[in-house]
């Protein structure tokens, strides 16, 4: 394996209480939070309990506000381009449903698009008569930029893709898509839910107009957190599908004034403890180094794939040339859900991706329910080997 000396494994594991009890290979589901994240949230809840919710928010206003700076730094944005949300789906929906579609407008998306996004396209198609089209893949199973370029005409209203899908390690060519979108002046919405926290993400480099992500996955933040980036020049055009008096102060008896920043996509009441936890998780990732995180994630995932391939009947389904740290596995004659349950009984966490989570991709590739293994930088080579040993044992006995 390549050297990943820049991560102090002992320290990050000491910071991660969950590693003492379990082999956690479900970071694409929800990663283990590090101690500083847990501590920040507990302390904040204690403060709320001690002095009151509004009073705690006042006292910690500076730290709460700095969460925007942290996220902006992580993705190369301006803090005014960031909105916080309770998950990636709400962030995504707020931006997507702010776009205006007319009959015949085309929405171009990826084959491995996430179900939550796709059903929203379907709803807009039903309501407005927009047309949804999936961009073909190249021979490796990644979105084909040339095929995208060939699809562009004046009716394309939106290019909206998932960077790394929920069901495997495919890394779609987000920056190449961005170049095409920018060249043609088409709005580009990027679902970076499985990318943020496991690899560098720079909105200027990928040239997306809108980007969404969640807190609990590779970013190692708390559940119930997510964020939205909207490029400044697009903000003024986007009226959120729902507003309250935070997003749009009530400025006259018959009028409101939308905020000028991305927080027009937020509402007034929030889980401040979770927000603080998200900010600490972002700072933690930045302090470790996102490039170092990516290098170790990829190295561990490669090792895991190599070992899994040796199991008789095992099939790996990750597409693309250089897959990320999500591994999708099926084993002939073995039920994926049963394997997950068995592994959990042995203190190994994995999840199962069902075909409905990426229906187009699963249908075209005839994917069965897949065991999804997603290591993170705090996993060890020994954990990987032990997990594979258990999978081998289960497969043999099936």
Ligand X SMILES: Cc1ncc(COP(=O)(O)O)c(C=O)c1O
Which residues of this chain interact with ligand X, rule CB under 6 A? 87-89, 114, 116, 162, 165-166, 191, 193-194, 214, 226
What is the distance between the alpha carbons of residues 381 and 9, in angstroms, rounded to a whole number?
Answer: 11
Question: Of 16 and 89, which CB lies nearer to ligand X in the complex structure?
Answer: 89
Question: Of 47 and 355, which CB lies nearer to ligand X in the complex structure?
Answer: 355
Report the DSSP beta bridge partners of residue 314: 331
What is the distance between the alpha carbons of residues 324 and 372, in angstroms, rounded to a whole number?
Answer: 12
Backbone φ and ψ of 269, nearest 5° = -90, 140
By residue count, the chain amounts to: 398
What is the distance between the alpha carbons of residues 20 and 371, in angstroms, rounded to a whole number?
Answer: 23
The string of DSSP letters for 312-370 reads: TTEEE---SSS--S-EEEEETT--HHHHHHHHHHTTEE-EEE-GGGGHHHHHHTT---E
Is the separation of the CB atoms in 286 and 70 below 8 Å? yes
Backbone φ and ψ of 213, nearest 5° = -155, 165
Query: Under DSSP, is residue 191 helix (H, G, I), strand (E, B) or coil?
Result: strand
Backbone φ and ψ of 364, nearest 5° = -70, -30
Kindly state the tokens that stand for 46. Answer: 């204690």
State the nearest-atom distance from the C-beta of 358 to ligand X, in Å. 8
DSSP H or E run through 381:
helix 381-397
């Amino acid at each position: 394996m390549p050297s990943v000396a820049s991560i102090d494994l002992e320290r990050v594991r000491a910071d991660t209480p969950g590693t003492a009890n379990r082999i956690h290979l479900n970071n694409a589901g929800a990663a283990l939070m590090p101690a500083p994240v847990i501590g920040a949230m507990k302390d904040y809840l204690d403060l709320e309990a001690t002095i009151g919710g509004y009073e705690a928010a006042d006292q910690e206003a500076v730290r709460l506000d700095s969460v925007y700076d942290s996220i902006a730094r992580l993705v190369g944005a301006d803090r005014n381009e960031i909105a916080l949300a309770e998950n990636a789906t709400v962030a995504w929906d707020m931006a997507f449903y702010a776009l205006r579609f007319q009959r015949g407008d085309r929405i171009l998306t990826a084959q491995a698009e996430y179900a939550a996004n796709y059903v929203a396209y379907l709803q807009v198609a039903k309501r407005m008569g927009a047309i949804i089209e999936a961009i073909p893949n190249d021979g490796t199973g990644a979105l084909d930029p040339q095929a995208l370029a060939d699809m562009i005409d004046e009716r394309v209203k939106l290019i909206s893709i998932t960077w790394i899908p929920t069901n495997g390690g495919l890394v779609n060519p987000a920056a190449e898509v961005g170049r095409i979108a920018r060249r043609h002046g088409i709005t580009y919405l990027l679902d970076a839910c499985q990318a943020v926290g496991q690899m560098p993400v720079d909105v200027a480099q990928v040239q997306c107009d809108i980007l969404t992500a969640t807190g609990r996955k590779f970013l190692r933040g708390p559940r119930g957190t997510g964020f939205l980036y909207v490029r400044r020049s697009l903000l003024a055009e986007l009226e959120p599908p729902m507003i309250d008096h935070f997003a749009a102060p009530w400025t006259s008896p018959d009028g409101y004034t939308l905020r000028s920043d991305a927080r027009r996509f937020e509402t007034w009441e929030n889980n401040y403890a979770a927000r603080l936890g998200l900010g600490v998780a972002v700072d933690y990732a930045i302090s470790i180094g996102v490039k170092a995180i990516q290098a170790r994630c990829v190295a561990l995932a490669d090792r895991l794939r190599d070992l899994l391939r040796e199991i008789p009947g095992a099939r790996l389904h990750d597409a693309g040339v250089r897959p990320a740290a999500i591994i999708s596995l099926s084993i002939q004659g073995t039920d994926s859900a049963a394997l997950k349950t068995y592994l959990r009984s042995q203190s190994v966490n994995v999840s199962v991706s069902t075909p409905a989570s990426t229906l187009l991709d699963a249908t075209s590739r005839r994917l069965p329910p897949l065991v999804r293994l997603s290591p993170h930088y705090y996993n060890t080579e020994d954990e990987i080997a032990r997990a594979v040993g258990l999978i081998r044992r289960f497969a043999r006995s099936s």
